Structure 1
Amino acid sequence: MSGMKLINYQGELLNSEVPFLKDNRAFRYGDSLFETIRIINGAPHNLGSHINRLFSGAKILSYNIPSHYTEDFFRAEIGKMLQANEVELGAKIRLHLFRAGGGAFRSESDEVNYLITGEKLPTNEFVLNNEGLSIDVFNEVKKERSILSNLKTGNSLLYIMAMNEAKKKGLDEICIMNQNQVIIEASQSNIFLVSNGVLYTPPLSDGCVGGTMRMNLINLALENKVTVYESSLSPQNLLVADEIILTNAIKGVQWVGAFRGKRYYNKMARTLVDYLNGVNLVNSDLGLQENLKSS
């Protein structure tokens, strides 16, 4: 992967190799939201879902969103940056939204700025990992359930600590638990279990990030007659599952090969990747509405 030479800051294309740091609240206090978006065939995948989540978070954080900050506006701004960087196939971008102005914990303004950065990717479709991931559970810090739980904010210390623990243990990923001792997600992904051909995933009410790929795959599964349930998950549920699948907007689907002493298959993971690429290659900007069965 290679970083793009030009970034988009408030509509202005800047050289990414020239250091610049505005005295902004995103840097000082983590007063920000972000979306990581996959680019396929030179266009953003599932952009509508990303923008909807971004604006939902902005409402919770009391950001004053300009009326022209629409899905079409950001599609154009992303496109401008991709064209300037000669991106025609696969890439990933980060769309940051942060409160402008100064102030300490009491902000001076609720106006917002945006920043778009990115990297080119070697593939133009979602590719399943060849080797299964090894995972475990992070126990040191639990994720508290709140109105912030489902958002992607600039405060990622929990996930950083979790991945540092995974690194120490020689793991590929690690699962996050909430204060009720149930597994809600992995440090960089949402999580699904497969048992007897049925998909299970934690409900948003347990505190997981409301992943756009999570929503996408739930709907693809339902459209293809795969039963999906929202259900709280314990480590014991992982140990008796047939498969463990991790999902995010950039990598799509990844299969887990080992959790503690248990080994897993990847049949459903392969099927979901086929579903995903079948949709992406037809329409890279498809947004789907979530339709779940509740357990």
Structure 2
Amino acid sequence: MSEIYINNNGEVRANTGATIQSGNRGHLYGDGLFESLRVLNGKPQNVEAHINRMVEGAKVLKIRIPNYYTAEFFEEKIQELLDLSGITQGGRVRISLDRAVGGTYKPESNEANYFLEVYPLEHNAYTLNYKGYEVDLFMDMRKQNDILANFKTKNALVYVMASIAAAEKQLDDLLILNPKGEILEGSSANLFVVSNGVLYTPGLEEGCLAGVMRMKIINLALANGIKVYECNIMPQNLLAADEIFMTNAVKGITWVGGYRTKRYFNNMSKKLTDLLNKSVVELQENTEEN
């Protein structure tokens, strides 16, 4: 297996030993953002959508982004790492964007630093889980609906605690609520509820993450004649649903088999996973033609 490489703000090196700078504000204070991307056929997926979200999040955090931090810039840097690391099939990428080193709670600078990591994955397509997830509600904490809610900031303790609580309950995941008791998402994925062939998903105004795969699935569904509504989702809606699935950029779609005593089908999850993989093939073919 090839050695895996990282890019620390322009310095490319092997991913062995310490790689981040002492005083990194993402490490010290969670003062930054991150994006997780899927790699298929050795190519990073949906780069522009991820970079757009990262740039918008940086504006909210008042981190100054250089003009050259474009989708093209990061795609080139990611591809360099994938090639060096010998990742020609499935993989994942993590982009970290942190405020520059210096200061305590009050930073000395609002300039940006980036950090890129790549890792191989076994599957070279979006694959649906064989066994449906078992889920429940996370009641110990609520996710605040504020200016940071739609972005992937490094202040992620609500997701960490939900994941730990799920493991303690021997469940696959717990669903996170906002202060009004509306269901937002899982610990690492957006949520979709299916009733009578219609998709329902929490709206961004409720405080869920503005997931890249969430929007990809919404657009795919609409393009294929499947109705989608963004609305508030309450616990009782789960009990009335025919199907529940979750989405994230790396896994694609994960179907839910049960919520408490309720059991679910996965017909829509299978259909959308097929459409998702088909869209990847079509995009690659169009790129090669051009």
Partner-residue secondary structure (3-state), 1:117: strand
Contact 2:198 2:227 in 1 (8 A): yes
Corresponding residue of 2:244: 244
CA distance in 1, matches of 2:88, 2:10: 20
Corresponding residue of 1:87: 87
Corresponding residue of 1:54: 54
CA distance in 1, matches of 2:189, 2:243: 15
Structure 2 residue 184 is the aligned partner of structure 1 residue 199 = no
Counting only pairs closer than 5 Å after superposition, residues 250-289 of structure 1 correspond to structure 2 as 250-283=250-283
Contact 2:131 2:257 in 1 (8 A): yes
Corresponding residue of 1:291: none
Corresponding residue of 2:7: 8
One-letter amino acid of the structure 2 residue matched with residue 60 of structure 1: V
CA distance in 2, matches of 1:229, 1:4: 45
**Structure 1 segments of 4+ aligned residues over 6 angstroms from their partners:** none
Structure 2 residue 43 is the aligned partner of structure 1 residue 43 = yes
Contact 2:6 2:15 in 1 (8 A): yes
Q: Which has the higher contact order (CA 8 A, sep 6+)?
A: 1
Residues 182-221 of structure 1 show CA distances to partners (whole Å, capped at 9, x for unaligned) of: 1011111000000000000000000000000000000000
Using the TM superposition, name which of 61-70 and 219-228 deviates more. 61-70
Corresponding residue of 1:77: 77
Contact 2:184 2:207 in 1 (8 A): yes
Corresponding residue of 2:232: 232
Structure 2 residue 118 is the aligned partner of structure 1 residue 118 = yes
Partner-residue secondary structure (3-state), 1:281: helix
Partner-residue secondary structure (3-state), 1:38: strand
- Give the drift of 1:118: 2.0
Counting only pairs closer than 5 Å after superposition, residues 150-189 of structure 1 correspond to structure 2 as 150-189=150-189
Contact 2:190 2:247 in 1 (8 A): yes
CA distance in 2, matches of 1:184, 1:160: 15
Corresponding residue of 1:293: none
Partner-residue secondary structure (3-state), 1:92: strand
CA distance in 1, matches of 2:2, 2:39: 14
CA distance in 1, matches of 2:73, 2:19: 24
Contact 2:8 2:20 in 1 (8 A): no
Corresponding residue of 1:19: 18
One-letter amino acid of the structure 2 residue matched with residue 155 of structure 1: N
Structure 1: tracts of 5 or more residues without a match: 287-295
CA distance in 1, matches of 2:152, 2:194: 26
Contact 2:4 2:119 in 1 (8 A): no
TM-score (norm 2): 0.96
CA distance in 2, matches of 1:227, 1:215: 14
Residues 78-114 of structure 1 show CA distances to partners (whole Å, capped at 9, x for unaligned) of: 0110110011111001000000121011110011110
One-letter amino acid of the structure 1 residue matched with residue 5 of structure 2: L
- Give the drift of 1:11: 1.9
- Give the drift of 1:66: 0.9
Contact 2:8 2:19 in 1 (8 A): no
- Give the drift of 1:159: 0.5
Identity %: 44
Residues 144-182 of structure 1 show CA distances to partners (whole Å, capped at 9, x for unaligned) of: 100100010111111111111000000011100000001
One-letter amino acid of the structure 2 residue matched with residue 69 of structure 1: Y
TM-score (norm 1): 0.94
- Give the drift of 1:284: 5.4
Structure 2 residue 139 is the aligned partner of structure 1 residue 139 = yes
One-letter amino acid of the structure 2 residue matched with residue 122 of structure 1: E
Contact 1:48 1:71 in 2 (8 A): yes
